Structure 1
C-alpha cells in the first residue's frame, strides 16, 4: 500500500533515467513507466492517472505532443503535467509552458525538487476540491485554472441545473449529454471534485439552494420542493451535513453580513 493512492505516469525513452525517477517516487506513489508519449497516452485513456512526468525528446510521440494531446482533450485536461528537458534556455521553458505544462524542470534535477513539484500540484488539486465541497457559495468552475476544465464543469453544471427536477437526472444521462462513457465521466468528475457523479448532482442542488437562500426570495420548504428534495427536513439534513450550517443559520449569516450595506 502506497502512502497515497495517486498514480503517476512517467514517460522517458532513457531506461536509466526512467528507473531513477521511478525508484525515487515508488515509496510515495503508484508509478507507471512508459518509454514514449504514445504508450503513455494509450495508458491514460484506459486507466485513472493523477499526474504525468514526461521527457521532451522521445520517439513516436514526444513530450510536447503528449502534453498537447492531454491538455486539448476535455476528458484528460485536468491531469497535472510536468515536462523534463535537457534544454536550459528560457525560450525552451516558455515553449513548454505554452504547450500547457503545469511545470517545467531542467535536467539534471534534484529528486527532491521533482518530489516538491509533484506534491505541490497534487496538493493544489486537493485543496481546490476541499474548498468547493465545504463552501456553499463557491462554484467549482471558478476554482479551476484550465480553461478546458472550466468549460467542462460549466456545461456539466448547466445540465444538472436544467434537469434538477427531473427523475431522469442520473449518471447515464449526464454521460450521454457530455458525449463520454460512464467510466470516463466518473474519472473526470472524481479528479476535479473528489465526488462521484451522484454526489456532484446532490452538492450542485445544495449550492443552488444556497444561492436561492441568499436571495431570500423563497422559503426553505419552497426551495426544498423546487430542487427535488423529498421533504424540507430531508433538504435541511443534507444542507447541514454538507456545509456544517443549517439553511436557517445560513440565511441569518447572509442577513448579518449584508447589514452594513443597507444603511
Structure 2
C-alpha cells in the first residue's frame, strides 16, 4: 500500500510545492483549512499529516489537539509547520500532541527525513508485531487512546476466539465506531485489514498455547477458531515462516 499524507495549509503555493516534492513517493491529499481536512480524515486512510499552524478559523494547534483527542484519528503522526520562532510555540506544539515541529522556512531534506522516520517507525513496529509470536498487542500504540482502543479490541477478539468468522459490524459497534471508521483505524495503525489483524491475533494465541504444552494441536485449533488443521498449518507457516511441527521443535530446543 502506498502511504498517504494529508497536507493542510491555507496557502495554495505551499500545497502545490509540498504535493510536488512528496507526490513521487506518497499519495497526497490536500486541504486549505481544518473543515476540509476533517472531511478527508472521515473518508480516506491517512498515514501522516503535515499542517501549517497559522490558518484562518481553526489553527494548526487546535486541529492537532482535535485529531489527537479523537480515537478515530489519534494514531496518525502529525508534523506542524510554523513561522513562529519561539520556544513557547514549540512547547505548545508538543503539548497538543504534535510528533514533530518544523520552523518555516524549512529544509526540504529535514522535512523528508522527519516523514521517513515517522512512517518507517510505524512499519518497523508492525513488522515486529507480525513476526514475533509473543510481541504484545500494545507494541504499536502512540497514545493512551490507542492503548485503550487496542486493549478493547484484544478483549473482544479473545472473547470470540472460538468463532471461525468474527462479526466485524458487531466488533465496530463494540468499539463505538462505524465499520468504515474501524477499517480505516486498523489499516492505518497496523497496516493490516481487520481480518488480517484478527487472524494474526488468533495465531499469536495459538503460539502461546503451544508454548504451554498443555493442549493437543487439534484442541488449540478448535480454541482459536480455525476450521481445519490444514488451514491452520498454512496460516501459521505463512505468518511465522515455519510449520507448527517445526515451532514445537524449536520450543523443545529452547528448554
The answer, yes or no, to whether TM exceeds 0.5 is yes
Q: What displacement does 1:217 show?
A: 1.8
**1:174 aligned partner:** 171
2:71–2:146 CA contact under 8 A, matched in 1: yes
Deviation per CA, 1:82-135, whole angstroms, max 9, x where unpaired? 001112222221221111111110111111211111111111111211221222
2:50–2:79 CA contact under 8 A, matched in 1: yes
Q: Does 1:222 align with 2:240?
A: no
Q: 5 Å matches for 1:45-60?
A: 45-60=42-57
**1:81 aligned partner:** 78
1:140–1:153 CA contact under 8 A, matched in 2: yes
Q: 5 Å matches for 1:15-30?
A: 15-30=12-27
Deviation per CA, 1:162-205, whole angstroms, max 9, x where unpaired? 01113562222211211211121111111122221112111111
**1:231 aligned partner:** 228
| Structure 2 gaps, min length 5 | none
**1:191 aligned partner:** 188
**1:127 aligned partner:** 124
**2:7 aligned partner:** 10
Q: Does 1:253 align with 2:254?
A: no
Q: 5 Å matches for 1:105-120?
A: 105-120=102-117
Q: Structure 1 residues 233, 167: closer, same or farther in 2, change over 3 A?
A: closer
Deviation per CA, 1:226-255, whole angstroms, max 9, x where unpaired? 212223333222211211122232233233
Name the CA distance, whole Å, in 2 between partners of 1:142 and 1:27: 31
1:133–1:203 CA contact under 8 A, matched in 2: yes
Name the CA distance, whole Å, in 1 between partners of 2:84 and 2:62: 17
CA RMSD of aligned residues (A): 1.7
**2:145 aligned partner:** 148
2:75–2:142 CA contact under 8 A, matched in 1: no
Name the CA distance, whole Å, in 2 between partners of 1:167 and 1:205: 10
Q: Structure 1 residues 256, 145: closer, same or farther in 2, change over 3 A?
A: farther
Equivalent residue in structure 1 for 2:94, among 66, 79, 97: 97
Name the CA distance, whole Å, in 2 between partners of 1:167 and 1:234: 11
Q: Structure 1 residues 169, 33: closer, same or farther in 2, change over 3 A?
A: closer
SS in 2 for 1:142: coil
Q: What displacement does 1:45 show?
A: 1.5
